[in-house]
């Protein structure tokens, strides 16, 4: 035997007692039908972004260039003042945002210019992620020498982004970009045998990766 429908009451007076009554036995089924009708799509959470895929607009890739007043804000938004190789890279990665570093900008922010001539400082911490107008990509490439974009900027960026730096003369930079946009076609380099080096200024400094990965045996 099915359970009896529960009795319910509302805060209302009908002359002799409060208003009470029982639910129709079909009430529960009606609620289910109504719910499925209003929400035909599953309500599961969105799949998280795959950080290995920088092409995902919710992950994103962008560049950081030195700021300059020699170009208009609209031109800076399109990186028209960038080296030819970087413009080629941006053309190959359509939609990639361009950020700027300017000395004196509040620490922890990068400036972004837009095609309409407006500008906005984007925070390295707390910003929405991706390639939207007010967003910060997860992958960022600094283009310039440390005297143009200082190391402390890269240090701050590394706390919230996967950050690299391209500090090459244009001829070498062009070769690098050519290989990059062609997915390193024909390269014999193996990612299973990387070479890592670092400065060594004593015990308190960073160590060579080979010493960390393969500790020397004591004699």
* pLDDT classification of 208: cutoffs 50, 70, 90: very low
Q: Counting Cβ atoms within 10 Å, is residue 73 exposed (0-12), middle (13-18) or buried (19+)?
A: middle
Which residues, listed in sequence order, are joined to residue 165 by a DSSP beta bridge? 142
Question: What pLDDT, on the 0 to 100 scale, is given for residue 219?
Answer: 44
User: Is the predicted pLDDT of residue 109 greater than 70, yes or no?
Assistant: yes
* pLDDT classification of 39: cutoffs 50, 70, 90: low
Contacts of 6 (CB under 8 A, 6+ apart): 22, 23
Q: Taking the model in full, what pTM does it have?
A: 0.69
Mean pLDDT, to the nearest integer, of 49-66?
95
DSSP sequence for the chain: -PPPPPEEEEEEE-SSSEEEEE--TTHHHHHHHHHHHH--S--PPPPPP-TT-TTSTTT-EEEEEE--TTS-HHHHHTTTTS-HHHHHHHHHTTT--EEEE-TTSPTTEEEEE-TTS-EEEEESSS--BSSSTT-B-SEEEEES-TTTS-HHHHHHHHTTSEEEEE---HHHHHHHHHHHHTTTTT----TTS--------STTSPPPHHHHHSPPPP-
Q: Which of 39-48, 118-127, 145-154 has the lowest mean pLDDT?
A: 39-48
- Pull the structure tokens for residue 29: 């089924």
Which residues, listed in sequence order, are joined to residue 119 by a DSSP beta bridge? 113
As a whole number of angstroms, the longest Cα–Cα distance in the chain is 100
pLDDT in tens, 160-199: 999 999 999 999 999 999 999 998 888 888 878 888 777 6
- Angle 211-217-219 from CA coordinates, rounded to 5°: 135
* pLDDT classification of 215: cutoffs 50, 70, 90: very low
Question: What pLDDT, on the 0 to 100 scale, is given for residue 209?
Answer: 43
User: Is the predicted pLDDT of residue 21 greater than 90, yes or no?
Assistant: no
Q: Count of CB atoms within 10 A of residue 59's CB?
A: 19
């Amino acid at each position: 035997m099915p359970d009896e429908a529960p009795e319910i009451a509302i805060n209302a007076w009908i002359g002799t007692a409060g208003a009470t009554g029982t639910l129709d036995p079909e009430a529960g089924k009606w609620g289910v039908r109504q719910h499925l009708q209003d929400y035909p799509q599953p309500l599961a959470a969105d799949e998280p972004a795959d950080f290995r895929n920088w092409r995902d607009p919710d992950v994103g890739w962008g560049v950081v260039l030195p700021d300059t007043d020699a170009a208009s804000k609209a031109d800076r938004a399109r990186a028209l003042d960038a080296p030819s190789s970087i413009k080629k890279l941006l053309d190959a990665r359509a939609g990639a945002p361009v950020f700027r570093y300017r000395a004196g900008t509040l620490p922890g922010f990068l400036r972004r210019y837009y095609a309409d001539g407006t500008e906005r400082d984007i925070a390295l911490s707390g910003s929405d992620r991706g390639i939207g107008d007010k967003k910060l990509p997860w992958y960022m490439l600094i283009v310039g020498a440390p005297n143009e974009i200082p190391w402390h900027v890269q240090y701050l960026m590394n706390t919230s982004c996967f950050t690299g730096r391209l500090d090459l003369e244009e001829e070498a930079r062009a070769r690098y970009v050519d290989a990059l946009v062609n997915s390193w076609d024909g390269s014999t380099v193996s990612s299973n045998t990387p070479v890592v080096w670092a400065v060594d200024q004593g015990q308190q400094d960073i160590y060579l990766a080979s010493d960390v990965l393969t500790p020397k045996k004591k004699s």
